[in-house]
Amino acid sequence: MESLARTSNLLFSLLVLLLSWPWLPTAAENVNLDFQSFSIRSLTLLGDAYLRNGSVGLTREAGVPSSGAGAVLCNVPIRFHDPATNSSASFSTRFSFSITNTDPGTSGDGLTFFLSPENQTLGAAGESLGLFNASQPSPADSSIVAVEFDTFMNAGIGDPSSNHVGLDIGGARSVQAADLAALGIDLKSGGAITAWVEFLSGEKTFSVWVSSSGDRPAAPVFSTAAFDLSVIFQEFMYVGFSASTEGSTEVHAILDWSFRTFGLPEGNLSSPAANSSSDGSPGGVIPAMPISSPERRSSHRKLSLALVIAGPVVFFCLVFSLVAWVSLMKLIRLRKRERFTPELLKGPRNISYRELSAATGGFHRSRIVGNGSFGCVYRATDPSSGMAYAVKRSSHSRQGKSEFMAELTIIARLRHKNLVQLVGWCAEKDELLLVYEFMPNGSLDKVLHETRRPSETLDWARRVRITRGVVSVLIYLHQECEQQVIHRDIKTSNIMLDAHFNARLGDFGLARLMDHDKSPDCTLTAGTMGYLAPEYVQYGKATEKTDVFSFGVVLLEICSGRRPIEKLAVDSGDMVNLVDWVWNLYSNNKLLEAADPSLKGEFDGDEMVRLLLVGLSCVNPNSGERPSMRRVLRILNGEAELLLVPRMKPLPVFSHSLPPLSLQDIVSD
């Protein structure tokens, strides 16, 4: 009876699907976004960008002189061009923003609304408005379209005033601009300003309206048909906002935002009938009905007569078979599109064990690319797209399950360009699996210590960029998340390198969430010897300062090419601690001798000394003397002075408020 009930439900569902199917589009290509309040789940925050009270801040209030840049992008890529039909989307957007200048003696530089082919678009500060790369333009810059709201007059790039709006294509120099003073609009007033931007693909017109009242004016600030943006559009692009400052304290915020595309054919994009039906207006298109010839109508009558004679049972079986086949094909195609497709993800997904087993060759030993205390990491390949992923498989232990839940809970809510992105997870068949982006260049540890010529793979410029990336993501974890995240296991083997050797911090199995205004709980010590702060080993109390210590060891490791703890010689049993070794060189005025010999002197000496001193200040045995990660970034940017590093390594001073843990309580891998 239960089987019969399931069969009846299936028949009923298929019948409903048959009745509704012709009127349901198979794939809506036009999108409609509406952000009355912003959430980290739907956005990617880059640089100085942050969320506060439902709005997005792009730059921060800081002392003068100060420079910074931030960007926010919608997580989901949007189709702007269909190569099969050679049609381009029209779009319209409305957003409100505010620009507040806390120091009237300075100004600059403004914000942009932009379209970009990349989801990690963050450019230089100053006139580049946090969008373009001024010194070395990237290939993606040429496909960036932006509307700038500029508060600084830069005559070198043709700005009409320090209060203007402009259209930028591929660079910071506006191809069309208009002064807003005539409209009585002051971008730096601090009040809410609303803008409307519209591009009509059919008419090839681009128009911008600006208002300080919230009502759209009758006439646009400017409208141009001289630039056909459809020739610039990539098939998929990202939409977002950027802003920057240079020597000023301007704070840029996005208050609300709506965006939609229209004009792309719905459903089968390669269908000529669908393409001819598109009129450039919002909404879907009406499917073309088949044309019936007299011969076809005659054959239909014969078929109907045969069906009447055969009886309703045969007719129902035919309909059922047809509907079942069509429905199954649609479900299979939809499953293939959604499976492992990162562009469609709004967050980590629950992926079936069968899919992950197929993608890893049944978790074959040859697919293992890494091992850790959590378990093994396998290289997975999606059979349909050929894309590579990393699948982290836990060991079957109590600790493994707790670490699994910790990593999933924490990293699922994090978004930063220097974090390894979590794609999905699986908890089936007594297996605990996490699916990440695949990092083709592996871990910093392997590249730094196991490659034959590390200086060729990691030259000095790449090492500095990796350092800045790790600093940026630690600032995000410590100060910019809704709850502070203490990583507790920062080391070079947990810093991954993407295809461009950008740093991506991963492995949150030991991380802990903590409210910003609360003290951390005392827990068992966890982590890796050589990277642990003295007070952490003594009391098991993890704070952001223990992460700073671990980062300091990583920084010394990057500069010197040495491991945190290693033998003095191959045939020697004596061990040397990296922190002690570098501090001893500093005490004897030989700090530059700590530089990695494999670099062969090809580095900036002053920059090497600065990074080594920053590393020593971070590994100060007394946690109160260590800088915050934001202070570290300002030092690296030349915006703050180096902390005074004592010539002799200080002795650690411990608080007596907590008893030390016993040796049995200390846990390390």
Cis check for the bond before 454: say yes or no (omega within 30 of 0). Answer: no
Sheet holding 375-381, edge to edge: 349-350, 422-426, 433-437, 388-394, 375-381, 368-371
Angle between helices 578-587 and 605-618 (to 10 degrees): 120
| CA dist list (Å): 633 to 68, 257, 480, 557, 642 | 11, 31, 14, 18, 11
In the structure encoding, which two tokens stand for residue 252, read together? 């840029």
Of the candidates 534, 538, 543, 558, the one whose C-alpha atom is nearest the C-alpha of residue 615 is: 558
Q: Is 346 annotated as a binding residue?
A: no
Token couple for 418: 């220097």
- The whole-angstrom distance between residue 460's C-alpha and the CA centroid of its chain comes to 25
Do the Cβ atoms of 438 and 469 come closer than 8 Å? no
Classify the phi-psi angles of 583: left when phi > 0, otherwise alpha if psi is within -120 to 50, otherwise beta. alpha
Q: Which residue among the candidates 141, 489, 507, 547 is catalytic per the annotation?
A: 489
**In terms of DSSP bridges, do strands 174-179 and 164-169 run parallel, antiparallel, or are they unpaired?**
antiparallel
Number of other residues whose CB lies within 10 A of the CB of residue 563: 16
Nearest to 390 by CA among 486, 480, 504, 289: 504
A 10 A CB-CB count for 310 gives 12
Residue 50 pairs in a beta bridge with 57
279 is an active site residue: no
- 8 Å CB contact between 169 and 145: yes
Sign of the CA dihedral with 300 first, then 302, 303, and 309 last: positive
Closest CA to 114 of 42, 167, 47: 167
- Please answer whether residues 483 and 516 qualify as being in contact, where contact means their C-beta atoms are separated by less than 8 angstroms: yes
Distance CA 579, CA 380 (A): 38
Give residue for tokens 């991954």: 496
Strands 565-567 and 512-514: unpaired
Q: Whose CA is closest to 154, among 137, 132, 122?
A: 132
Map residue 243 onto helix, strand or coil: strand
Cα separation, 285 vs 23, whole angstroms: 11
Interatomic CA distance for residues 500 and 412, integer angstroms = 24
| Strand ranges inside 499-589, DSSP E | 503-505, 512-514, 565-567, 575-577
User: Do residues 617 and 643 touch, judged by C-beta distance below 8 A?
Assistant: yes
| Distance in angstroms (rounded) separating the CA atoms of residues 660 and 534 | 11
Q: Tell me the HSE value of 190 on the side-chain side, using a 13 A CA sphere.
A: 6
The residue among 180, 187, 209 whose CA lies nearest residue 93 is 209
CA-angle at 423, arms to 420 and 425, nearest 5°: 115
Tokens 């997975």 — which residue? 380
Q: Which amino acid is at 167?
A: L
Q: Residues for the chain: how many in total? A: 669
| Cα–Cα distance for residue pair 617/50, rounded to 1 Å | 28
- Which residues are annotated binding-site positions? 392
User: Which residues are designated catalytic?
Assistant: 489
Write out the binding residues for ATP: 392
